């Protein structure tokens, strides 16, 4: 699996729209329990709103948004457990790097990670 890099942060409105689309996709992911669908989708919506309102302060914050998007895409597409584990590990690393710069967004991401843990990811 090749690692994607995004040298320039995307527009916060585009990231918000992307997270909204991913939230909608997770709400329809039949392989997840309804409560899990709703929890993950709500957290993506919340993160999108937070990033849209505060902007992307740094490359670390932009990387955080991309990492959570990758996990959501992996869940929606029912990728392998190895792929999901790798995406989750990248998300945890991105959260640790962005924590000081974006504490509210990072808090949302940690709640997202907690839901992943509750379903064995």
d(CA 92, CA 94): 5
Q: What is the pLDDT of residues 51-79, one digit of tens each?
A: 888 766 678 888 999 999 999 999 999 99
pLDDT at 6: 44
Domain assignment present for 2: no
Task: Label residue 5 by pLDDT band (50, 70, 90).
Answer: very low
> What Å distances lie between residue 17 and 24, 73, 93, CA to CA?
11, 14, 24
pLDDT at 56: 67
Q: Which of 8-22, 33-47, 71-85, 102-116 has the lowest mean pLDDT?
A: 8-22
Domain assignment present for 32: yes
Check pLDDT > 70 for residue 7: no
Structural domain count of the chain: 1
């Amino acid at each position: 699996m090749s690692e994607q890099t995004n040298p320039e942060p995307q527009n916060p409105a585009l990231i918000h729209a992307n997270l909204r689309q991913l939230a909608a996709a997770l709400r329809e992911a039949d392989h997840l329990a309804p409560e899990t669908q709703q929890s993950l989708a709500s957290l993506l919506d919340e993160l999108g709103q937070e990033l849209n309102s505060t902007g992307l302060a740094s490359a670390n914050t932009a990387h955080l948004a991309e990492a959570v998007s990758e996990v959501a895409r992996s869940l929606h597409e029912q990728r392998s457990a190895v792929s999901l584990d790798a995406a989750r590990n990248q998300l945890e690393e991105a959260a640790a790097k962005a924590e000081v710069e974006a504490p509210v967004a990072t808090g949302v991401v940690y709640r997202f990670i907690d839901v992943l843990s509750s379903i064995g990811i």
